[in-house]
Amino acid sequence: MPNQTSPQASPPRALLWAVAGSVIVMIAAGGLFYYSSQRAAAKRQTHPGEVVVTIHPHSCEPNALTVPAGRASFRIVNRSDRAVEWEILDGVLVLEERENIAPGLSQVINANLLPGDYAITCGLLSNPRGTLHVTPTAASEAAAQAKPSMVAFIGPLSEFRVYLSSQSTALIKAVNALEQAIAAGDLSQAQALYAPARAAYQRIAPAAQRLAELDNAINARADYFEKREQDPAFAGFHRIEYALFQQRTLDALAPVAQRLTQDVTTLKQQLLAQSLPPEQLVSIVVRNLNSLAEVRASSGEEERYSHTDLNGFAANLDATRKVVDLLRPLLSKSAAGVLQKVDSAITALDADLNGFKLKDGYASYDTVSAEQRKQIADKARTLANALDGIDPALGLSGLSAEDSNR
């Protein structure tokens, strides 16, 4: 065709830019409107005080709670006749817990909660669980958007996972050795192998204790069972401990040991399968040290038959040190003051425990006086408090708002 086709007439560039610009402005305006209406709603909400939960022998009341996201306080009143622990569970993982709430007394648990649905325990392991519904707020939504760089934590979290892997392998080996001594009928060998196996466990206890069911099977003490030491469900380490150090017999222990081996093997798989967000990395050791400070140091109930508590405490401190060392580069850059406090608290607790070292292992806990136990508890508490400073200093809680594993 002889006539030239007219070149495609495109709209003037300026017009295209203007349309694009106005669309962007509209979207931005919409977002702004949403955000400000949410903030207004949040302001209207009343600041929650404590949420009271009463634990009865076979239930808790209320057993359905609703709180807004963010910091919440729960007052747990123990109206049953035995010491109880209270936990907030996220699926199989423990988010917060308080052990050993004495009968007739109450304890306050503070938690920083993200939106979602959780379960709460109600005393005895056999009691039905309650529910906890956490509603989103403008602040939790904003935090989810904030997105500071999580990339810096990939390293420490990966290293911790590697640590869990190799320590779990060591635990499996130690429990295996214990099982074999039991199967061989060698009581004194089994007794000798008990403490090393417990130490291996205690080195990963902060992480293991997130896995409620499994940890109960491995680590539960007699008090959590209705029939205590006689309860058929009483198993795991402490059932073995009871047999080795109180009853001094290996009768009927083989299946318990076999089950324990299976359980620690499962523990390794589950520890590796669980994702651990940054704030949990610190909060699990804080929780572990708090239970040491509040309960385990003074009571000596953790290893009530073998009195090898110090062995466990030292291993808990190893785990704490691991976490601190993994975060050390970040801490020395962004929270040097907190790091200093943490380091000196570690040194103090370490020195205290070392004072009880013998040629082989640690002094038997029944020889440790109440005053000495208080010293240990105090130092553990100081360390836990120092560690508490890490989350706000590094902004860990804000990080995984997007990445929480629900």
Partner 1 sequence: MNDSENFNLQRRRVLMGMGAAGVALAGATLSCPAMAASPAQVTEAPSSDKTEDRHAFHGRHQTGIVTPRPASGMLVSFDVLASDRQDLERLFRTLNERIAFLMKGGPVTQVDPKLPPVDSGILGPVVTPDNLTITVSVGESLFDERFGLAAVKPKRLIRMVGFPNDALEADCCHGDLSLQFCANTTDTNIHALRDIVKNLPDLLLVRWKQEGSVPPQAPAKPGVPAQSARNFLGFRDGSANPNSNDAKVMDRIVWVQPGSDEPAWAANGSYQAVRIIRNFVERWDRTPLQEQESILGRVKSSGAPMGGAHETEVPDYAKDPQGKLTRLDAHIRLANPRTAASQANLILRRPFNYSNGVNKNGQLDMGLLFICYQADLQKGFITVQTRLNGEPLEEYLKPVGGGYFFTLPGVTGDQDFIGRSLLDAAAAKTTA
Partner 2 sequence: MKKSPLALLLTLGLLNTPLSAFAATAPMDLVGPVSDYKIYVTEQLDELASHTRQFTEAVKKGDLATAQKLYAPTRVYYESIEPIAELFSDLDASIDSRVDDHEKGVKAEDFTGFHRIEYSLFSEKSTQGLGELADGLDKDVKDLQTRVAGLTFPPEKVVGGAAALLEEVAATKISGEEDRYSHTDLYDFQGNIDGAKKIVDLFRPQIEKQDAAFIAKVDKNFVSVNKVLAKYITTDGGFETYDKVKDNDRKALVGPVNTLAEDLSTLRGKLGLN
Summarize as ranges the residues that interact with partner 2 (CB under 8 A).
8, 10-11, 16-17, 19-20, 23, 150-151, 153-159, 161-162, 165-166, 272, 275-277, 326, 400, 402-403, 405
- Could you say which of partner 2, partner 1, none residue 159 binds, taking C-beta under 5 to 8 angstroms by partner kind? partner 2
| For partner 1, the closer CB: 5 or 145 | 5
Q: For residues 247 and 238, give the distance between their C-alpha atoms in angstroms, rounded to a whole number.
A: 12
Whose Cβ is closer to partner 2: residue 275's or residue 347's? Answer: 275
User: Which of the choices partner 1, partner 2, none does residue 5 contact, using the CB cut-off of 5 to 8 A by kind?
Assistant: partner 1
Tell me which H or E stretch contains 72: strand 70-78
Cα separations in angstroms, 39 against 68, 83, 135, 139: 14, 42, 14, 8
Of 42 and 393, CB closest to partner 1? 393
What is the C-alpha separation between 97 and 94, in angstroms, rounded? 7
Find the shortest distance in angstroms from Cβ 315 to partner 1.
37
> Considering the complex, what minimum distance in angstroms separates the CB of residue 274 from partner 2?
10
What lies within 8 Å, CB to CB, of 91 at 6+ separation is: 405, 406
Residue among 9 and 358 whose Cβ is closer to partner 1: 9
Under 8 Å CB-to-CB from 96, ≥6 apart: which residues? Answer: 87, 88, 109, 111, 287
Q: Is 49 in the site for partner 1 (CB under 8 A)?
A: no
Q: Considering CB distances under 5 to 8 angstroms, the limit depending on partner class, which of partner 1, partner 2, none binds residue 170?
A: none
- Residues in the interface with partner 1 (CB under 8 A) total 4
Name which of partner 1, partner 2, none residue 162 binds, using a CB cut-off of 5 to 8 Å depending on partner kind: partner 2
Residue 151 sits in the site that holds partner 1 (CB under 8 A): no
> What whole-number distance in Å separates Cα of residue 217 and Cα of residue 182?
19
Restricting to residues 3-42, name those near partner 1 by CB under 8 A: 4-5, 7
Using rule CB under 8 A, residue 149 touches partner 1 = no
CB of 278 to partner 2, least distance (A): 9
406: its two tokens:
């629900």
CA 6 distance to own-chain centroid: 72
| Smallest distance from partner 2 to CB 406, Å | 12
Distance CA 247, CA 166 (A): 33
Question: Could you tell which of partner 1, partner 2, none binds residue 277, using a CB distance below 5 to 8 A set by kind?
Answer: partner 2
Q: Residue 258 Cβ, how far from partner 1 at the closest point, in Å?
A: 53
- 16, interface contact from partner 2, partner 1, none, CB < 5-8 Å by kind: partner 2
Bond before 62 cis per omega within 30 degrees: yes
Helix (H) or strand (E) holding 151: helix 151-183
Q: What is the DSSP letter of 8?
A: P
From the list 196, 178, 176, the residue with the least C-alpha distance to 187 is 178
Contacts with partner 1 by CB under 8 A lie at 2, 4-5, 7
